[in-house]
């Protein structure tokens, strides 16, 4: 069966969620949300089903007090995986959600950080998800650090960057070396394209594996079951992403 870009990214993120017990998904995150719901469905008949908490809408949202309850849950160590994105991301996994240009007189301003710094430091595994893979996004150094990928000695930190997923590849973050390592390249890309479109240096093996694509069973589950569940929160996304749903 053929898959589309959204289905590939959902499947890629789902594979990164293996071993998680409680995944929280923030606002405006339909692809990570779909991935979490997919893994929940795949583990539903096991003795360790995945717990999923999605902020936004009423479906799959256990929180009655929004972000504050989410932060409290993270602070108590009851969330092990979360997602963050950024206007800019650099090689130290620093994230910029504030704007581009020199602060405070920035060229462009964006929505801001909200709880990104807190979640980055509290949640053990943070997956950075940014589909656009260009030097505009993946920069040598972010213009403003909204959430730091690494911290100085003495800073209390339970969590941090685990992986980076883009439309071209998957990278994992080595916290000891404070550096990304390319771990798989999506079927439609290659390492030369990734190097040409990444503004920071990263490690990679001599032979980079290809990303595992979704099999027929997973695609059917996405299109028949997950499409309906994610539509409760993101109806337009579900309609566009699963056009081949049967």
Alpha helices in the chain (DSSP H): 5-16, 30-42, 66-75, 116-122, 191-196, 216-221, 227-231, 235-241
pLDDT tens sequence across 155-178: 999 999 999 999 999 999 999 999
Domain segments of the chain as ranges: 5-87+113-133+147-238
pLDDT tens sequence across 191-240: 999 999 999 999 999 999 999 999 999 999 999 999 999 999 999 999 99
pLDDT above 90 covers a percentage of the chain that reads 86
Report pLDDT for 31. Answer: 98
Instruction: Tell me if 83 sits within 8 A of 126, measured CB to CB.
Output: yes
Listing DSSP states for 92-142 in one string gives T--EE-SEESSSSS-SEE-S--TTHHHHHHHSSEEEEE----STTTEESS-
Max distance between CA atoms of the chain, in angstroms, equals: 54
Report pLDDT for 63. Answer: 85
Query: What is the reported pTM?
Result: 0.95
Average pLDDT over the chain, rounded to whole? Answer: 94
Q: How confident is the model at residue 244 (pLDDT cuts 50, 70, 90)?
A: low
pLDDT tens sequence across 61-104: 988 777 889 999 999 999 999 999 999 999 999 999 999 999 88
- Count of C-beta atoms within a 10 Å radius of residue 29: 22
Report pLDDT for 246. Answer: 44
User: Phi and psi dihedrals of 201, rounded to 5?
Assistant: -80, 145
Does domain 5-87+113-133+147-238 fall into CATH 3.50.50.60?
A: no
Report pLDDT for 57. Answer: 80
pLDDT at 55 over 80: yes
Residue the block writes with tokens 């490690």: 203
Report pLDDT for 118. Answer: 95
Report pLDDT for 114. Answer: 83
Q: Cis omega before residue 61 (within 30°)?
A: no
Measured at the CA of 129, the angle between CA 128 and CA 133, to 5 degrees, comes to 110
Q: How many Å apart are CA 220 and CA 198, to the nearest integer?
A: 34
Report pLDDT for 245. Answer: 54
């Amino acid at each position: 069966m053929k898959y589309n870009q959204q289905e590939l990214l959902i499947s890629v993120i789902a594979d990164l969620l293996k071993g998680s017990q409680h995944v929280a998904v923030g606002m405006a995150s339909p692809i990570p949300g779909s991935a979490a719901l997919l893994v929940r469905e795949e583990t539903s008949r096991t003795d360790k089903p995945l717990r999923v908490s999605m902020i936004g809408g009423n479906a799959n949202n256990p929180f009655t007090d929004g972000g504050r309850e989410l932060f409290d849950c993270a602070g108590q160590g009851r969330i092990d995986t979360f997602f963050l994105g950024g206007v800019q991301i650099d090689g130290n996994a620093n994230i910029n959600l504030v704007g581009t240009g020199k602060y405070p007189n920035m060229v462009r301003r964006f929505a801001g950080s909200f709880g990104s710094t807190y979640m980055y430091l509290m949640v053990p595994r943070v997956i950075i998800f940014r589909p656009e893979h260009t030097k505009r996004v993946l920069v040598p150094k972010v213009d403003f650090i909204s959430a730091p990928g690494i911290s100085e000695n003495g800073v209390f930190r339970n969590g941090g960057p685990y992986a980076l997923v883009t439309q071209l590849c998957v990278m994992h973050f080595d916290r000891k070396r404070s550096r990304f390592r390319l771990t798989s390249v999506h079927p439609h890309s290659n390492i030369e394209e990734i190097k040409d479109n990444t503004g920071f240096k990263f490690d990679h093996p001599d032979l980079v594996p290809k990303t595992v694509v979704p099999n027929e069973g997973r695609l059917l589950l996405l299109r028949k079951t997950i499409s309906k569940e994610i539509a409760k929160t993101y109806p337009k996304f579900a309609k566009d992403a699963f056009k081949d749903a049967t």
